[in-house]
Amino acid sequence: MPPGRYHLHEDKLLLSLLRQGDQHAFDTIYNRYARELLVRAHYKTGVKEISEDIVQDVFTGLWVKREQIEVRQSLGAYLNGILDHKIIDYYRQACTHLRHIDHLIEMLDQPEISPIDKMAYKEQESALHAYISGLSEKMRAIFILSRYERLSTDEISQKLSLSNQTVRNQISKALKILREKLASPPGRI
């Protein structure tokens, strides 16, 4: 089919051609939706370059996952949904980055830590890691995703195929175990 006539096709046909790896179908979808997505991304982020990067990620993902795509609504709604997730991810990463910067500033504002305090901190940190590694495999995985990777209960439950209640229970148990072990005087553990 001549590439120039693709703009006349319905989204369903374009998706079918895209799943088969048709570059012209992809280009048509891009030309049809990129500007709308860019305007929406810019409205939500306020930064042109970030908006362009996010829209580029949407279309890169579309091409990479073209064989698995299941569009239950319109293609436009599907792409807007992906865009929303990418924007949320962007803000999540930005918040994490800001927390790290705030932590660094806080550390720089504090007076110099004595070598004894540093050693005590390292010992506590080492003990904590040892206690975490002593948790059951499932509890350890959930705790690390929650506390170190900062995933929400919903994200953890989806990632590990567990109920939200199971995730909450495991985090609660892990915290209780770790608090008890850290509160015990040395030699009693």
Over the stretch 22-75, which tens digit does the pLDDT of each residue have?
999 999 999 999 999 999 999 988 889 989 999 999 999 999 999 988 888 889
Q: Rounded mean pLDDT of the chain?
A: 83
pLDDT band at 143 (very low <50, low <70, confident <90, very high): confident
111-122 b/e (C-beta count within 10 Å ≥ 16 → b): eeeeeeeeeeee
Q: How many CB atoms lie within 10 A of CB 95?
A: 11
Q: Looking at the predicted structure, is the pLDDT value of residue 189 above 50?
A: no
Please report the pLDDT score of residue 124 as a whole number. Answer: 76
DSSP 8-state code for residue 18: H
Query: Which CATH fold topology does 3-95 show?
Result: Rna Polymerase Sigma Factor; Chain: A (1.10.1740)
Please report the pLDDT score of residue 133 as a whole number. Answer: 85
Q: What are the boundaries of each domain within the chain?
A: 3-95, 113-183
Region 129-151 average pLDDT: 86
Region 76-103 average pLDDT: 82
- For domain 113-183, the CATH class is mainly alpha
Q: CA-to-CA distance for 175 and 136, rounded, in angstroms?
A: 13
Percentage of the residues of the chain whose pLDDT score is greater than 90 = 33
DSSP code string of 115-184: HHHHHHHHHHHHHHHHHHHTS-HHHHHHHHHHHTS---HHHHHHHHT--HHHHHHHHHHHHHHHHHHHHS
55 CB burial (10 A radius; 0-12, 13-18, 19+) = buried
Region 155-162 average pLDDT: 90
Please report the pLDDT score of residue 2 as a whole number. Answer: 46
Evaluate whether 42 touches 51 at the Cβ level (below 8 Å): yes
Please report the pLDDT score of residue 97 as a whole number. Answer: 66
Please report the pLDDT score of residue 174 as a whole number. Answer: 86
For the entire predicted model, the pTM comes to 0.50
